[in-house]
Amino acid sequence: MPAETLRRLWPLAALLIALVAIALVASLAPIVIQRRVVEALIYLIAVVALYIFAGNSGVLSFGNVSFMAVGAYVSALLTLKPAAKAVFLPGLPAFLKAAEWPTVPAALAGGIVAALFGLFVGVPLMRLSGIAASIATFAVLSITYVVLGNWTSVTGGQNSLFGLPLYADLSTVLPWALVAVAAAFAYQETRSGLMLRASREDEVAAEASGIDVHRQRLYAFVLSAFFSGIAGVLYGHFLGVLRVESFYLDMTFLVVAMLVVGGMRSLLGAVTGALVISLITELLRQLESGVPVGGITVAAPPGLGDAVLALAMLLIILVRPQGIAAGRELGWPFGARAQGRPVSSDRISGGEAK
Amino acid sequence: MINLAQHVVDTISVGGLYALTALGIGLIFGVMRLINFAHGELITAVGYALLLFHGWPLPLAMLGALLIAVVLALVMERVAFRPLRGADPETLLIASFAVSFFLQKLLALTVGARAKGIDFLPSLGEPIAVVGIRLQVLQLATILVVAGLLAGLSWFLGRTRAGLEMRAAAENFRMARLLGVRADRVIAVAFALSGVLAAAVAFLFVAQSGTLTPRMSLQLVVIAFVGTAIGGLGSLVGAAVGGFLVGAASVILQAVLPFELREFREAFAFGLVILVLLVRPQGLFPARGLKERV
């Protein structure tokens, strides 16, 4: 392979290698740790999905968790045992009642329905920019939450949906994580991705150069919705139980915070953010459940972990307002030109508030 | 007719509460482009402060709670937001999320996550009849407090030097600084004011609900946040009107929607939000300082 191609693919290759390495190490660990890693990888897919839209367009979306919800419920309805559905969801349409799909097609269906939903809301919403767009996606989140929470015949409403096949483990989640990261990288290298990134830096100039910002945003939004849907599917089959509550403000906060803490302007940032926050969460969880010090076990009071997590996020943001990765991708480590993508940024296009 | 009047009173008192919350958020956005999600924690803090000062003479307890809100707002600004001044709005928003989350969890850790009852101003819950309309004293009090605060705020912004500086800063921060407005002071004043507004909202809200939980102000802030955007971020009139409209919309929808659709009330309200944004992306009262110059 010519060195130039290798160099160009390196930011992707390095991330994929890192993820495989993490999974390999985890596969040797006890099952409890393995589940934590699986959970982290699912969050990673959700964050990368959000990054595909928010990172490239510069418009923060609070609506992606609603795509996760849609994906999760679609896959759940397609894979639950018909007998279970007859008990929990007697009002279900006949074709859903009888459905018992294999897991992979059901997961794809979840992603595709989420993407279609993204297309449906994206057509009007992508005309908006900045805060208006963020608020509108937030409105989508709230609407989805209210509708799913009250559409009792299909989602079970406020009741939990039990008995999803628990297939999400390392061997199923890792491939999806790799696909999501590769797709995000491929997208940002395409013409469409580059045009969208141009519009992120200067929307007016991009429009003036003939870029159809609405259309490019829509492409990214649909792709983003697809992978959010997949993350939702996996989350459902990881927990085995679906609650509408799980796909609302807390999840949105966590996913958005992971992206911003990592650095929302690069794929490296998205991946780093998801992994770092997951790691901190896990360490705090360990601390809460007790750490042996000398002969005694010292446990932090329950609930302390959450407070410390919020504090840690705040500290990271204070120290690195651009996020951990600060907009850079991984540079080629061997030989000359070992530089990341140049940091584009608001240093040039400072707003009024600066 | 009387029925209609009753709905109008309901709408105004609920909308007014949201308008005050939205103003608190809008004030801060005006001067530093920060959507302060942690505004809700100021409200919550006042609620718990009232519980803490239970048994004190009422005016003293309220004054103490108000001071706590103002001090907390100032500390928040100094510790979390001042170092980030000038960062992207996303970063600021997430920082405020983190502050909000931290305070919420800290509260849950220290006083517990379970709801606590509080008997604050119980006399306000009594019904009275005014020209045939039955209403609670609380609703009247809410309307009076909202009207009073709005009048006070517009006096402050229109007639005092600090208010003038704040309006100048909201319009064009850099220009205002060049003309001698002290950035630190104007931002601190804005935070202190948002603390006062939060306290007012908390008094009314707590008197109305009678319970305290660490997450009690979530709904208020979310609606106010949406209201600020609809009204036009950066515009104070917009924030007040937007907050009022979203609150009012939910009361009106509750009244006019057919019964089987009522549980979807908020979905309709947020649908309206999307419609308004599509028609007027800059909000109903666009702030001049935010208009993009090419």
pLDDT digits (tens, 9 = 90+) for A212-230: 999 999 999 999 999 999 9
Identify the residue among A51, A120, A314 best suited for mutation to test binding to B, counting B beta carbons within 10 A and taking the highest: A314
Contact B118, B213 (CB under 8 A): no
Contact A352 B108 (CB under 8 A): no
CA dihedral A237, A240, A241, A244 (to 10 degrees): -10
Q: Coil, strand or helix: which one is A292?
A: strand
**For A245-279, how does the pLDDT look when each residue is reduced to its tens digit (9 = 90+)?**
889 888 998 899 899 888 888 899 999 999 999 99
Question: How distant, in Å, are the alpha carbons of B20, B42, B97, B142, B201 from that of B205?
Answer: 11, 13, 22, 9, 6
Contact A306 B101 (CB under 8 A): yes
Alpha helices per DSSP H over A156-247: 170-189, 191-201, 203-208, 213-239
> Quick one: pLDDT band at residue A348, thresholds 50, 70, 90?
very low
Mean pLDDT, chain B, as a whole number?
85
pLDDT at B66: 94
Q: Which residue of A has its CA nearest to B109?
A: A303
pLDDT at A161: 85
Interface of B with A in 44-83 (CB under 8 A): 80, 83
Q: Which of B9, B239, B276 is nearest to B144 (CA)?
A: B9
Contact B109 A303 (CB under 8 A): yes
ipTM attached to this prediction: 0.83
- Check CB contact of B233 with chain A, cutoff 8 Å: yes
Mean pLDDT, chain A, as a whole number?
86
Phi and psi angles of residue B160, each rounded to the nearest 5 degrees, phi first: -110, 160
| The pair of three-digit structure tokens given for residue B148, joined into one six-digit string | 């009073």
**For A102-144, how does the pLDDT look when each residue is reduced to its tens digit (9 = 90+)?**
888 999 999 999 999 999 999 999 888 887 888 899 999 999 9
**Residue A245 DSSP label:** G
| CA–CA separation, A240 and A245 (whole Å) | 15
Q: Coil, strand or helix: which one is A3?
A: helix
Contact A272, A263 (CB under 8 A): yes
- Check CB contact of B114 with chain A, cutoff 8 Å: no
Portion of chain B with pLDDT greater than 70, in percent: 96
| CA–CA separation, A48 and A46 (whole Å) | 6
| The pair of three-digit structure tokens given for residue B168, joined into one six-digit string | 């100048």
Q: Which residue of B has its CA nearest to A204?
A: B294
> Quick one: pLDDT band at residue A347, thresholds 50, 70, 90?
very low
Chain B residue numbers with beta carbons less than 8 Å from the beta carbon of A50 are none
Question: What's the distance, CA B28 to chain centroid?
Answer: 11
Can you name the residues that pair with A22 across neighbouring β-strands? none
| CA–CA separation, A320 and A342 (whole Å) | 17
Domain ranges in chain B? 2-217
Contact B94 A135 (CB under 8 A): no
Contact A143 B225 (CB under 8 A): no
Contact A300, A288 (CB under 8 A): yes
| The pair of three-digit structure tokens given for residue A190, joined into one six-digit string | 């395409």
Whether the predicted pLDDT of A80 surpasses 90: no
Chain A residue numbers with beta carbons less than 8 Å from the beta carbon of B294 are 204
> What H or E segment, with its residue span, contains residue A293?
strand A291-293
| CA–CA separation, B180 and B186 (whole Å) | 11
pLDDT at A302: 72
pLDDT at B126: 73
Whether the predicted pLDDT of B89 surpasses 90: no
pLDDT at A352: 39
> Quick one: pLDDT band at residue A97, thresholds 50, 70, 90?
confident
Contact B290 A150 (CB under 8 A): no
The whole-angstrom distance between A101's CA and the closest CA on chain B is 31
Whether the predicted pLDDT of A353 surpasses 50: no
**For B181-229, how does the pLDDT look when each residue is reduced to its tens digit (9 = 90+)?**
888 888 999 999 999 999 999 999 988 888 888 888 888 888 888 888 8
The whole-angstrom distance between A103's CA and the closest CA on chain B is 32
The whole-angstrom distance between B277's CA and the closest CA on chain A is 6
pLDDT at A351: 39
Q: What is the rounded average pLDDT of the residues B37-52?
A: 92
| The pair of three-digit structure tokens given for residue A232, joined into one six-digit string | 């939702």
| CA–CA separation, B91 and A320 (whole Å) | 10
| CA–CA separation, B280 and B282 (whole Å) | 5
Q: Which residue of A has its CA nearest to B227?
A: A135
Q: Which segment of A275-279, B131-135, B155-159, B266-270 scores lowest on mean pLDDT?
A: B131-135
Q: Which of B14, B284, B289 is nearest to B139 (CA)?
A: B14
Contact A330, A340 (CB under 8 A): yes
| The pair of three-digit structure tokens given for residue B126, joined into one six-digit string | 């009594």
Select the residue of A143, A253, A352 nearest B97 (Cβ to Cβ): A253
Contact A245, A252 (CB under 8 A): no
| The pair of three-digit structure tokens given for residue B83, joined into one six-digit string | 């170092």
Whether the predicted pLDDT of A290 surpasses 80: no
DSSP-assigned letters across all residues of chain B? -HHHHHHHHHHHHHHHHHHHHHHHHHHHHHHH----TTHHHHHHHHHHHHHHTTTS-HHHHHHHHHHHHHHHHHHHIIIIIGGGTTS-HHHHHHHHHHHHHHHHHHHHHHH-SS-EE---SGGGG-EEEETTEEEEHHHHHHHHHHHHHHHHHHHHHHHSHHHHHHHHHHH-HHHHHHTT--HHHHHHHHHHHHHHHHHHHHHHHHHHH-EE-TTTTHHHHHHHHHHHHHH-TT-HHHHHHHHHHHHHHHHHHHHHS-GGGGGGHHHHHHHHHHHHHHH-TT-SS--GGGSPP-
Question: B279: number of CA atoms within 13 Å, CB side?
Answer: 9
| The pair of three-digit structure tokens given for residue A251, joined into one six-digit string | 């999840």
The C-alpha angle B96, B98, B100, rounded to 5 degrees, equals: 70
Contact A346 B267 (CB under 8 A): no
